Structure 1
Amino acid sequence: MNPSTALARVLVDELARCGLVEAVVAPGSRSTPLALALVAHPGIRVHVRVDERSASFLALGLARASRRPVAVVCTSGTAAANFHPAVMEADESGVPLLVLTADRPPELRGTGANQTVDQIGLYGGAVRMFTEVGTPDPAPGMVAYWRSLTCRAWAAALGGRPGPVHLNVAFRDPLTPDQTAGDGSTWTAPLDGRPDGRPWISRPGPHDEPAPYVLPDVERGVIVCGDGDYDPVPFLALSELTGWPLLAEPTSNARRAGAISTYRQLLAAPGFADAHTPELVVSVGRPNLSRQVLAYLRRAARHVVVTAASVGDARASLPDDFSDPARTATDVVAAVAPPAGVGGRAPERTAWSLSWERAEDAARRVVDGVLDAEETLSEPRLARDLVAQPAAGALLFAGASMPIRDLDATMHARCGVRLVGNRGVSGIDGTVSTAIGAALAHQRESDAPAYALLGDLALLHDQNGLIIGPGEPRPDLAIVVVNNDGGGIFSGLEQAGHPDFERVFGTPHGVSMERVAAVADLPYTRVEWATDLPKALLGEGLRIVEVRTTRAGSAALRRRLQDAVDAAVAHQG
């Protein structure tokens, strides 16, 4: 066996022993040993994509939904650079990703050799670990080095804060197993791993859970659940026990019964935030979706940030790993407990909690009233109705820009639907591929359907994600696209008044999603009326549902929603 094949087979075998079950491969020559080793392994499902950026975001989606590392492989050169946006998203959102970039051997670097760039530390500080694996030379101890390194990489991806790991693997020719005959290049050392399929390095069980921080007993407390893959149940229980209102972003998956679903409009209503200044805010995750929440955090005299570990990882996040975008944190803790004595008494219903509940009821009524006044399917109504449709167990991927914000503004509290999105860097690149990856991972464990709510620019930015070769795994995923012919998020910002707004920010494209669906040979449906949405969502496989709107009309509707909440709050006094 030639050295390149030996290295690739050992790396893949050890990854499988650690728990790898999904891998994404972008085709290329220098990465041939890794690609062949992956497709030959019976325990790993391999996905092939022609575009490295789509491949890396597909891996990101698979890892995000499955909560376990996924490998993504490419050849050398610009292929590795195309992984960078997904690596950045994985870093910021704490998604375990194993980035395996093939490279030329050292003797070809810096010589002008074809498809050779400097890949050492390519992703900078965005990775939890980088290793230049080195060339596979037949020297003593190499197998132990490769296997122990693989175990370290796996552990780094799943560490206190999960994230991407980069292994740069240099391969010399020959790159395929069938090129070794008569070339004198052999591998004589045993390649076997530990007995019984065990990983080379076994690790002890999870660390003991940290002692929770006992919160002070105050009336005017608020719980803010931002984006993140943590268990929301303790924070829902804390809200129930204390009476503190819970403000939950959609991708926190904490917007369940009892949560304040209209907090975005309430905090923007004149006088409401002034009348509801908190003594204490407890936050978890990344609360950065709305300006209203960030401004509200600055009002609190005390702000306790909880560095909750990811679901499936019993270890607390590192003490210096916490989200504090408003720079208001006064205490950073690994876990919290209700104030002393609260757990032994009936759930609190104070003047503070009742005031929030009355405001929520009033705001909820007027928001739904404005949305239901017209049967035409608007962007805010689409978001509200789409998340309300699926049965328990479904997955909904929310695109950046306006889709996630419309969900935040209109979504009712509900259980049973898991919401995910690329909220680490909040870019629109790779959105289609991430949604497909998330759906594939979700449906590996469940028969439940999956949906994605995307904007038109996000779909056009990642059209390649729709190109899936014959025989490749395909998800049951309805991609619902809001087509307002450009960048809708800018219509609500200060740029909207600039004379060059339409060209520079609106960026009209004139592309129908039906044409995009035709290129990818996908089923297509266009929906105009709200009552037709449930029927349009029916179907199997990958499909596109288009809803056409206007940017100006959507911006005006969002202003009407806020005006209606302002009036309802003012009427309450």
Structure 2
Amino acid sequence: MSDSTQLARQVVQALLDAGVREAVLAPGSRNAPLSFALLAADRAGALRLHTRIDERSAGFLALGLARTSGRPVAVSCTSGTAVANLAPAALEAHHEHLPWIAVTADRPLRLRGTSANQTTEQVGLLPRAEVLDLAAGDEVDVPVGALLAARGPVHLNVQFDEPLTPVDDWVPRPTTARPPAPASTPEPKVLARGPRTVVVAGDGAGPAARLLAEQAGWPLLAEPSSGARAGSHAVPAYRVLLGTELAAEVERVVVAGHPTLSRPVARLLGREDVEVVDLAPDDRWQPRPFPVVDSAPVWRVGDGAPDLEWLDRWREAGRSLAARVRALLRAEGDVTPHEVAGVVAGAVGARDLLFVGPSNPVRDLDLMMTPPPVDRSARVVANRGLAGIDGVVSSAIGAALAHGAEGRTIALMGDVTFLHDQGGLVLGPHEPRPNLTLVVVNDDGGSIFSLLEQGGADHAHAFERLFGTPHGVDLAALCAATRTPHWRVESVAELEHALSQPAGGIEVVEVRVRRDNRREIDERVRNLRP
């Protein structure tokens, strides 16, 4: 057995011991030892292997698998620029604390700095990753404990020398994943009911934010991917409410997770007359970009009766505004991107998964998603660590694969986001395929910019070239190239029908909407009052 084959098998065994049950492979020559070892583990039933031809897609596929499963996922590639293509996914894994492990092949140490083909300095190439540089030897210590405890990206850079192919078969030994020891729960701090308070739940806040709001009787302003947007205290259309007189009465905000979706929330958190308490401080997002007067990982509410009049005013105002928003959009005649988000939100149930893309789709979902009862709420996930459009198709496929047959998966995204990762639809005939409906809101360009300063009349002469970026791509033809079923719908009713009858496997539902009136519609929505 060659040293490289032995090293690769040691690495794969360590991954299995660390609980890896999904692995993504981008093939190459130098990582052939890893490829054979991963295939052997797949055939032994120790993990499930996914092969992709593009490293960036592979990295984000692993990210989606890790996000939904909560387990560490490995992605392997060859040397050189292949490693650099994993960097965007590594950054997202860092900012979301996802257990994502890059296993990259490298030339042996003697070839570094010699202009050898496909050789560069790979150690440190993946940002914010914990790095281990491994070379073949009699005893290679792959740190299973470090992999188990990882909360973010880990980079195993593995030096392989020729020969790179095995001469015998290998079956990994049985393993039982050893979960990291649970962290002790600190004593909760007491939060006085006192001031008029709202709870803001950003991405990843979890149910603790909802439970605190319900215990205290406070309004809950929860983003879709917070894991808290459900129950009787969640306020719909809260972003619009923050532009009304009611928001001026807020005296304290309890914030959890990573709120990023709206400027009204940012302005609320930055007000000098508002106290901000951090429900779950997290070094991913510290220090906060707003002043925090107190923070602790666990809180309980002090004694006293809840201010139900305060809560009822927010709930009633939210219901009234949500109804006014729906009426305004119906009057448009043409289907709007906001309505698309509302239909998608209504199509998922308690056993389902909704993956939502960045820019306008997640904000439209935030506006239109009616908070469901807790027992009927779907899980909503998104790449909100850096909120980029990188790899969203691949991330959604990974999330759907990890979700499995528990329920359906729908992904909502814009056309530019879809095109940015169209390679995610390139799957070989033997690859596992999830049941996933990709709803693509196609307005032929980047409408998010029309809502910002550069979308104003002063910049109209440059907007289309610099920001609108119309592309004119025929999405049906693009989908046909990868044999992906495609449906184009033109109305709310057609979209509801398409979502009620999924074709199975990966399918694309394209909804054509206008872009020229986006700024004007959003301005009218912002000016609504309860």
Query: How high is the TM-score relative to the length of structure 1?
Result: 0.86
Do the aligned partners of 2:69 and 2:403 also contact (CA within 8 Å) in 1? yes
Selected match of 1:214 from 190, 198, 217 = 190
Q: Distance in 2 between matches of 1:35 and 1:473?
A: 17
Alignment pair present for 1:250 and 2:244: no
Aligned residue in 2 for 1:267: 242
Aligned residue in 1 for 2:486: 524
Q: Deviation at 1:334?
A: 1.0
Provide the secondary structure at the position in 2 that maps to 1:100. strand
What are the residue-to-residue correspondences of 1:291-310 with 2, within 5 Å? 291-299=263-271, 301-307=274-280
State the Cα RMSD in Å.
Answer: 2.1
Aligned residue in 1 for 2:526: 562
String of CA shifts for 1:272-297, please: whole Å, max 9, x gaps.
432x232x211110012111101001
Q: Distance in 2 between matches of 1:516 and 1:289?
A: 31
Aligned residue in 1 for 2:147: 153
Q: Distance in 2 between matches of 1:562 and 1:389?
A: 26
Q: Deviation at 1:217?
A: 2.5
Provide the secondary structure at the position in 2 that maps to 1:207. coil
String of CA shifts for 1:473-518, please: whole Å, max 9, x gaps.
0110110101111101001111123121100101110112112211
Provide the secondary structure at the position in 1 that maps to 2:464. helix
Aligned residue in 2 for 1:335: 298
Selected match of 1:107 from 110, 126, 130 = 110
Aligned residue in 2 for 1:439: 400
What are the residue-to-residue correspondences of 1:145-294 with 2, within 5 Å? 145-146=141-142, 149-155=143-149, 157=150, 162-178=151-167, 197=175, 205-228=181-204, 230-232=205-207, 234-258=208-232, 259-269=234-244, 271-274=245-248, 276-278=249-251, 280-294=252-266
Selected match of 1:48 from 51, 65, 74 = 51
Q: Distance in 2 between matches of 1:559 and 1:535?
A: 30
Q: Deviation at 1:472?
A: 0.1
Cα pair distance change 1:481/1:169, threshold 3 Å = same
Do the aligned partners of 2:148 and 2:180 also contact (CA within 8 Å) in 1? no
Provide the secondary structure at the position in 2 that maps to 1:552. coil
Do the aligned partners of 1:392 and 1:416 also contact (CA within 8 Å) in 2? yes
Selected match of 1:67 from 64, 70, 94 = 70
Identity %: 44
Do the aligned partners of 2:268 and 2:274 also contact (CA within 8 Å) in 1? no
Q: Distance in 1 between matches of 2:242 and 2:280?
A: 25
Aligned residue in 2 for 1:185: none
Q: Deviation at 1:546?
A: 0.5
Cα pair distance change 1:375/1:449, threshold 3 Å = farther
Structure 2: 5+ residue stretches without partners? none
Q: Deviation at 1:256?
A: 0.9
Do the aligned partners of 2:416 and 2:446 also contact (CA within 8 Å) in 1? yes
String of CA shifts for 1:157-212, please: whole Å, max 9, x gaps.
2xxxx2111111101111111299xxxxxxxxxx997xx7356xx67731221111
Do the aligned partners of 1:375 and 1:529 also contact (CA within 8 Å) in 2? no
What are the residue-to-residue correspondences of 1:457-472 with 2, within 5 Å? 457-472=416-431
- Letter of the aligned partner of 2:513 in structure 1? T
Q: Distance in 2 between matches of 1:25 and 1:89?
A: 19
- Letter of the aligned partner of 1:430 in structure 2? G
Q: Distance in 1 between matches of 2:199 and 2:368?
A: 19
Do the aligned partners of 1:307 and 1:322 also contact (CA within 8 Å) in 2? no
What are the residue-to-residue correspondences of 1:397-476 with 2, within 5 Å? 397-414=355-372, 415-443=376-404, 446-476=405-435
Q: Distance in 1 between matches of 2:417 and 2:158?
A: 33
Q: Distance in 2 between matches of 1:94 and 1:207?
A: 16
Cα pair distance change 1:104/1:483, threshold 3 Å = same
Cα pair distance change 1:284/1:402, threshold 3 Å = same
Do the aligned partners of 1:288 and 1:325 also contact (CA within 8 Å) in 2? no
- Letter of the aligned partner of 2:30 in structure 1? R
Q: Distance in 2 between matches of 1:391 and 1:507?
A: 36
Q: Deviation at 1:407?
A: 0.6
Q: Distance in 2 between matches of 1:450 and 1:204?
A: 29
Cα pair distance change 1:290/1:18, threshold 3 Å = same
Aligned residue in 2 for 1:120: 123
Provide the secondary structure at the position in 2 that maps to 1:469. coil
Alignment pair present for 1:541 and 2:524: no
Provide the secondary structure at the position in 2 that maps to 1:98. strand
Alignment pair present for 1:482 and 2:447: no
Do the aligned partners of 2:75 and 2:103 also contact (CA within 8 Å) in 1? yes
Structure 1: 5+ residue stretches without partners? 181-190, 309-316, 569-573
Query: How high is the TM-score relative to the length of structure 2?
Result: 0.93
Do the aligned partners of 1:30 and 1:103 also contact (CA within 8 Å) in 2? yes
String of CA shifts for 1:372-414, please: whole Å, max 9, x gaps.
3355321000101111112321111111010001011111112
Do the aligned partners of 2:57 and 2:391 also contact (CA within 8 Å) in 1? yes
Q: Deviation at 1:558?
A: 1.9
Aligned residue in 2 for 1:491: 450
Selected match of 1:97 from 88, 100, 107 = 100
Alignment pair present for 1:29 and 2:32: no
Q: Distance in 2 between matches of 1:179 and 1:321?
A: 45
What are the residue-to-residue correspondences of 1:307-386 with 2, within 5 Å? 307=280, 320-323=283-286, 325-339=288-302, 341-342=303-304, 348-374=306-332, 376-386=334-344
Q: Distance in 1 between matches of 2:13 and 2:363?
A: 43
